Structure 1
Amino acid sequence: MFTPTYYLLHVADPAKSAGFYTELFGRPPVETSPTFALFVLGGGIKVGLWSKATVEPATGGAPGALEIGIALAAPADVDAFHENWVARGLPVFQSPTDMDFGRSSMVTDPDGHRIRVFATTG
Protein backbone atom coordinates (compact mmCIF):
# COMPACT_ATOMS: atom_id res chain seq x y z
CA MET A 1 0.00 0.00 0.00
CA PHE A 2 1.20 3.53 -0.70
CA THR A 3 0.23 7.08 0.21
CA PRO A 4 0.40 9.80 -2.46
CA THR A 5 2.57 12.69 -1.33
CA TYR A 6 3.33 14.49 -4.60
CA TYR A 7 0.82 16.39 -6.71
CA LEU A 8 1.56 18.01 -10.06
CA LEU A 9 -0.61 20.70 -11.63
CA HIS A 10 -0.11 21.56 -15.28
CA VAL A 11 -0.15 25.36 -15.53
CA ALA A 12 0.17 28.00 -18.23
CA ASP A 13 2.69 30.17 -16.37
CA PRO A 14 4.66 28.52 -13.53
CA ALA A 15 5.97 31.86 -12.19
CA LYS A 16 2.46 33.38 -12.02
CA SER A 17 1.05 30.23 -10.44
CA ALA A 18 3.95 30.12 -7.97
CA GLY A 19 3.02 33.63 -6.83
CA PHE A 20 -0.56 32.53 -6.31
CA TYR A 21 0.40 29.42 -4.34
CA THR A 22 3.02 31.32 -2.30
CA GLU A 23 0.17 33.44 -0.93
CA LEU A 24 -2.16 30.48 -0.50
CA PHE A 25 0.37 28.24 1.27
CA GLY A 26 2.11 31.06 3.17
CA ARG A 27 5.54 29.90 2.01
CA PRO A 28 7.69 30.25 -1.11
CA PRO A 29 8.56 27.40 -3.45
CA VAL A 30 11.70 25.43 -2.60
CA GLU A 31 12.59 25.10 -6.28
CA THR A 32 11.85 27.24 -9.33
CA SER A 33 12.79 27.25 -12.99
CA PRO A 34 11.16 28.80 -16.06
CA THR A 35 9.03 25.66 -16.49
CA PHE A 36 8.52 24.39 -12.94
CA ALA A 37 8.01 25.34 -9.29
CA LEU A 38 7.91 23.04 -6.26
CA PHE A 39 6.35 23.58 -2.83
CA VAL A 40 7.00 21.31 0.15
CA LEU A 41 4.17 21.47 2.68
CA GLY A 42 3.52 20.00 6.10
CA GLY A 43 3.81 16.25 6.36
CA GLY A 44 6.15 16.20 3.37
CA ILE A 45 3.40 16.74 0.81
CA LYS A 46 4.79 18.25 -2.39
CA VAL A 47 2.90 20.35 -4.93
CA GLY A 48 4.60 20.89 -8.27
CA LEU A 49 3.57 23.40 -10.92
CA TRP A 50 4.73 22.23 -14.33
CA SER A 51 4.39 24.24 -17.54
CA LYS A 52 1.68 22.55 -19.59
CA ALA A 53 3.65 23.56 -22.69
CA THR A 54 6.63 21.41 -21.64
CA VAL A 55 5.14 18.58 -19.56
CA GLU A 56 5.88 15.13 -20.98
CA PRO A 57 3.97 13.27 -22.06
CA ALA A 58 1.79 16.13 -23.25
CA THR A 59 -1.26 16.84 -21.15
CA GLY A 60 -4.79 16.48 -22.43
CA GLY A 61 -6.69 17.19 -19.21
CA ALA A 62 -8.55 20.32 -18.28
CA PRO A 63 -8.41 22.19 -14.96
CA GLY A 64 -11.32 21.72 -12.63
CA ALA A 65 -11.57 17.93 -12.80
CA LEU A 66 -9.45 17.64 -9.64
CA GLU A 67 -9.63 19.59 -6.39
CA ILE A 68 -6.98 20.48 -3.87
CA GLY A 69 -8.59 20.16 -0.45
CA ILE A 70 -7.43 22.17 2.55
CA ALA A 71 -8.94 21.05 5.85
CA LEU A 72 -9.50 23.81 8.39
CA ALA A 73 -10.22 23.36 12.09
CA ALA A 74 -13.67 24.94 12.36
CA PRO A 75 -16.51 26.24 10.17
CA ALA A 76 -15.68 29.81 11.24
CA ASP A 77 -12.22 29.33 9.72
CA VAL A 78 -13.85 28.70 6.32
CA ASP A 79 -15.68 32.02 6.61
CA ALA A 80 -12.50 33.82 7.69
CA PHE A 81 -10.58 32.36 4.73
CA HIS A 82 -13.36 33.52 2.40
CA GLU A 83 -13.39 37.04 3.85
CA ASN A 84 -9.60 37.30 3.48
CA TRP A 85 -9.81 36.03 -0.09
CA VAL A 86 -12.49 38.58 -1.04
CA ALA A 87 -10.60 41.41 0.71
CA ARG A 88 -7.58 40.62 -1.50
CA GLY A 89 -9.80 40.90 -4.60
CA LEU A 90 -9.33 37.27 -5.61
CA PRO A 91 -12.05 35.33 -7.44
CA VAL A 92 -14.35 33.04 -5.47
CA PHE A 93 -15.85 29.98 -7.16
CA GLN A 94 -18.17 29.05 -4.26
CA SER A 95 -18.97 31.20 -1.23
CA PRO A 96 -19.05 29.47 2.17
CA THR A 97 -21.78 26.84 2.06
CA ASP A 98 -23.02 24.24 4.50
CA MET A 99 -22.78 20.86 2.80
CA ASP A 100 -23.39 17.26 3.89
CA PHE A 101 -19.83 16.92 5.24
CA GLY A 102 -19.48 20.40 6.77
CA ARG A 103 -18.73 24.00 5.78
CA SER A 104 -16.98 24.56 2.47
CA SER A 105 -15.79 27.30 0.14
CA MET A 106 -13.96 27.08 -3.17
CA VAL A 107 -11.57 29.30 -5.10
CA THR A 108 -9.62 28.68 -8.28
CA ASP A 109 -6.02 29.28 -9.21
CA PRO A 110 -4.98 31.25 -12.33
CA ASP A 111 -5.45 28.12 -14.47
CA GLY A 112 -8.86 27.18 -13.07
CA HIS A 113 -7.71 24.39 -10.73
CA ARG A 114 -10.21 24.11 -7.87
CA ILE A 115 -9.11 24.70 -4.28
CA ARG A 116 -11.64 23.73 -1.63
CA VAL A 117 -11.27 24.84 1.98
CA PHE A 118 -13.52 22.99 4.38
CA ALA A 119 -14.23 22.12 7.97
CA THR A 120 -16.05 18.89 8.72
CA THR A 121 -18.87 18.78 11.24
CA GLY A 122 -20.12 15.96 13.37
Structure 2
Amino acid sequence: MPSPGASPDEDWNTLHAEAEQHGYAIGARLHDVAVPVPTTYFPGSRTGRSVYTPPWQRPGWREVERQIRGGFAEGVIVLDRHNISSDDDEYHAVIKHLGERYKAFVHLVIPEEPTTPT
Protein backbone atom coordinates (compact mmCIF):
# COMPACT_ATOMS: atom_id res chain seq x y z
CA MET A 1 0.00 0.00 0.00
CA PRO A 2 1.67 3.25 -1.11
CA SER A 3 1.69 6.60 0.64
CA PRO A 4 -1.53 8.57 0.19
CA GLY A 5 0.20 11.81 -0.81
CA ALA A 6 3.09 10.38 -2.82
CA SER A 7 3.43 9.41 -6.45
CA PRO A 8 1.83 5.97 -6.69
CA ASP A 9 4.24 4.85 -9.44
CA GLU A 10 7.30 5.59 -7.31
CA ASP A 11 5.76 3.94 -4.28
CA TRP A 12 4.63 0.89 -6.27
CA ASN A 13 8.18 0.42 -7.54
CA THR A 14 9.54 0.59 -4.00
CA LEU A 15 6.89 -1.79 -2.66
CA HIS A 16 7.37 -4.22 -5.55
CA ALA A 17 11.16 -4.28 -5.05
CA GLU A 18 10.68 -4.89 -1.32
CA ALA A 19 8.24 -7.73 -2.02
CA GLU A 20 10.65 -9.36 -4.46
CA GLN A 21 13.56 -9.01 -2.05
CA HIS A 22 11.61 -10.88 0.65
CA GLY A 23 10.00 -13.44 -1.65
CA TYR A 24 6.45 -12.10 -1.29
CA ALA A 25 3.97 -12.49 -4.14
CA ILE A 26 1.80 -9.42 -4.68
CA GLY A 27 -1.85 -10.46 -4.81
CA ALA A 28 -3.49 -7.05 -4.94
CA ARG A 29 -2.29 -3.48 -5.29
CA LEU A 30 -4.27 -1.25 -2.97
CA HIS A 31 -3.97 2.50 -2.65
CA ASP A 32 -5.38 4.16 0.43
CA VAL A 33 -6.56 7.44 -1.05
CA ALA A 34 -7.56 8.80 2.34
CA VAL A 35 -4.58 10.63 3.79
CA PRO A 36 -4.09 9.63 7.44
CA VAL A 37 -3.61 13.20 8.67
CA PRO A 38 -4.65 15.58 5.91
CA THR A 39 -5.08 19.29 6.16
CA THR A 40 -8.07 20.74 4.41
CA TYR A 41 -7.79 24.32 3.18
CA PHE A 42 -10.94 26.19 2.36
CA PRO A 43 -10.96 28.05 -0.99
CA GLY A 44 -10.70 31.82 -0.64
CA SER A 45 -9.64 31.48 2.96
CA ARG A 46 -6.35 31.27 4.78
CA THR A 47 -7.79 28.92 7.34
CA GLY A 48 -7.62 25.19 7.35
CA ARG A 49 -8.50 22.35 9.60
CA SER A 50 -6.97 18.98 10.20
CA VAL A 51 -9.11 15.99 9.43
CA TYR A 52 -8.20 12.56 10.73
CA THR A 53 -9.64 9.26 9.58
CA PRO A 54 -8.77 6.13 11.57
CA PRO A 55 -7.42 3.21 9.51
CA TRP A 56 -10.53 1.03 9.67
CA GLN A 57 -12.67 3.90 8.39
CA ARG A 58 -10.49 4.37 5.30
CA PRO A 59 -11.46 2.40 2.17
CA GLY A 60 -7.90 1.20 1.56
CA TRP A 61 -7.53 -0.35 5.00
CA ARG A 62 -11.01 -1.87 4.91
CA GLU A 63 -9.99 -3.55 1.65
CA VAL A 64 -6.73 -4.78 3.21
CA GLU A 65 -8.70 -6.48 5.97
CA ARG A 66 -11.22 -7.89 3.47
CA GLN A 67 -8.41 -9.39 1.37
CA ILE A 68 -6.78 -10.95 4.43
CA ARG A 69 -10.07 -12.13 5.93
CA GLY A 70 -11.03 -13.74 2.62
CA GLY A 71 -7.74 -15.60 2.37
CA PHE A 72 -6.56 -13.61 -0.65
CA ALA A 73 -3.58 -12.15 1.23
CA GLU A 74 -1.39 -13.23 4.13
CA GLY A 75 -0.33 -9.71 5.00
CA VAL A 76 0.35 -6.22 3.78
CA ILE A 77 3.47 -4.26 2.81
CA VAL A 78 3.44 -0.52 3.53
CA LEU A 79 6.14 2.12 3.22
CA ASP A 80 6.11 3.14 6.86
CA ARG A 81 4.01 3.02 9.99
CA HIS A 82 2.40 6.38 9.20
CA ASN A 83 0.58 4.75 6.28
CA ILE A 84 -1.30 2.88 8.98
CA SER A 85 -1.55 5.54 11.68
CA SER A 86 0.57 8.25 13.26
CA ASP A 87 -1.16 7.53 16.56
CA ASP A 88 0.88 4.96 18.52
CA ASP A 89 -2.07 3.24 20.19
CA GLU A 90 -4.03 3.01 16.97
CA TYR A 91 -1.02 1.77 14.99
CA HIS A 92 -0.32 -0.98 17.53
CA ALA A 93 -4.03 -1.91 17.63
CA VAL A 94 -4.03 -2.47 13.85
CA ILE A 95 -0.89 -4.63 14.05
CA LYS A 96 -2.36 -6.62 16.93
CA HIS A 97 -5.75 -7.01 15.23
CA LEU A 98 -4.29 -8.32 11.97
CA GLY A 99 -1.79 -10.56 13.75
CA GLU A 100 -4.06 -12.07 16.38
CA ARG A 101 -7.26 -12.34 14.40
CA TYR A 102 -5.87 -13.42 11.02
CA LYS A 103 -2.23 -14.39 11.73
CA ALA A 104 -1.37 -11.79 9.08
CA PHE A 105 1.88 -9.90 8.80
CA VAL A 106 2.50 -6.18 8.33
CA HIS A 107 5.81 -5.44 6.62
CA LEU A 108 7.23 -1.92 6.82
CA VAL A 109 9.69 -0.91 4.09
CA ILE A 110 10.98 1.84 6.38
CA PRO A 111 11.28 0.17 9.78
CA GLU A 112 10.02 1.78 12.94
CA GLU A 113 12.53 4.02 14.61
CA PRO A 114 13.70 2.41 17.83
CA THR A 115 12.58 4.23 20.92
CA THR A 116 15.41 5.60 22.98
CA PRO A 117 15.21 5.65 26.75
CA THR A 118 14.94 9.11 28.23
TM tier relative to shorter chain = under 0.3
Q: TM-score, normalised by structure 2?
A: 0.27
Task: Point out the structure with the larger helix share.
Answer: 2
Q: TM-score, normalised by structure 1?
A: 0.27
